[in-house]
Amino acid sequence: MSGLAAQLLNGVQYGLLLFLISSGLTLIFGVMGVINLAHGSLFMIGAYIAFVVAGGTGSLWLALPAAVLGGLALGALLERGLFRRFYHREHLDQVLLTFALILLFEEGRSILLGNDFHSVPVPAVLDVAVPMVGDFSYSAYRLAVLVACLGIAGAMFLAIERTRIGSAIRAAAEKPEMVDLLGLDARRIHLVVFAVGTALAMLAGALAAPLHSVYPNMGHGFLIICFVVVVVGGVGSIAGAFWGALLIGVVDTLSKAYLPFAAGLAVYVLMAAVLLWRPTGLFARS
């Protein structure tokens, strides 16, 4: 019984991590109409920042703000330098641009830090098991990640639903022409969305580093799972990404724990079922 509870919590925690990545993916797609295949590489960069900073200073606490600030800066740079020219280009061009970025990011990582596996230690304060119900206890770090992700998700909902820039972002996602007509600065909205999306992916990488360790091409698997999240969750909505990520996180974790023969396949079967039943996703706005 406590095994199942632990797996469920693992699934929720994994799902919330997936939400951090896929919310950036879906926001950038929704507002700018760009698909960023390099989003998984940004996650990888965040994890390596955690490895380098935590290794250098001995503290993961410094790595988290470093990943966020680095993400904002890198996102702004990419948007201004490259992506802005590609908003109106064909899908094929966008796919290849972001594929090139994957190759360049991975080669850069290989040149700077090599191709070895590394583990990142959990901060000492959180390296304990928290007693839950009865004899069941759970890793404090995983709980902290779960709470942090929930907090970020809540902050995102508030920012998008309640603030001025949030309403501008919603407007940009639904009717880009309206943003121009209203005299809002669309270029600033694009910059903010891209920088925040990048920072979220890199923060997710830094949070995940102690749980998944860091290794070359670690972003690929997460990127593809996040595509499944977006397809299952629904077109271009943060709420869809949230529920989709939780569903995929739980299904993936439970299937790997209890159906070893179908390990990697369960989430794809789920995606196929969703496509048959509701091709626009489970939580799409009608």
Partner 1 sequence: MLTVAGRNGTFALGAAALAVAALPLFAEAYYLELASTALVLAMFALSLQLLVGVTGLVSLGHAAFFGVGAYAIHLLGAFGAAPSVLLSLPAAVLLAALAAFAVGALALRTRGFFFLMTTLAFGQMLFFVFHDTPLGGGADGVFVARPSFSLFGLEWVVSRQDRPTVMLLLNLGVLVAMYAGLALLLRTMFGRALLGIRANEHRMRSMGFDTYWLQLGAFTLAGALAGVAGHMWGMTQAFVSPELLAWHRSAEALLMILLGGLGALHGPILGAFAFVGLGDIAGQITERQRLVEGLVILVVVLGLRHGIAGIRLPALRRLPAPAPAAKEAAP
Nearer to partner 1, 61 or 99 (CB): 99
Q: Does 227 bind partner 1 (CB under 8 A)?
A: yes
Name the one range near partner 1 by CB under 8 A: 3-11, 47-55, 183-191, 228-236. 228-236
Nearer to partner 1, 47 or 101 (CB): 101
Q: Does 182 bind partner 1 (CB under 8 A)?
A: no
Query: Cβ of residue 93: shortest distance to partner 1, in angstroms?
Result: 5
Binding mask 138-177 for partner 1 (x = CB under 8 A): ----------------------------------------
Query: Cβ of residue 213: shortest distance to partner 1, in angstroms?
Result: 19
Region 75-94 residues binding partner 1, contact defined as CB under 8 A? 85, 91-93
Name the one range near partner 1 by CB under 8 A: 6-14, 185-193, 227-235, 249-257. 227-235
Nearer to partner 1, 138 or 242 (CB): 242
3-state SS of the chain? CHHHHHHHHHHHHHHHHHHHHHHHHHHHHHHHCCCCCCHHHHHHHHHHHHHHHHHHHCCHHHHHHHHHHHHHHHHHHHHHHCHHHHCCCCHHHHHHHHHHHHHHHHHHHHHHHCCCCECCCCCHHHCCEEECCCCCEEEHHHHHHHHHHHHHHHHHHHHHHHCHHHHHHHHHHHCHHHHHHCCCCHHHHHHHHHHHHHHHHHHHHHHHHHHHCECCCHHHHHHHHHHHHHHHHCCCCHHHHHHHHHHHHHHHHHHHHHCHHHCCCHHHHHHHHHHHHCCCCCCCCC
Name the one range near partner 1 by CB under 8 A: 12-20, 115-123, 144-152, 224-232. 224-232
List interacting residues with partner 1 (CB under 8 A): 29, 35, 37, 85, 91-93, 95-97, 99-104, 106-107, 110-111, 220, 224, 227-228, 230-231, 235, 261, 263-265, 268, 271-272, 275-276, 279
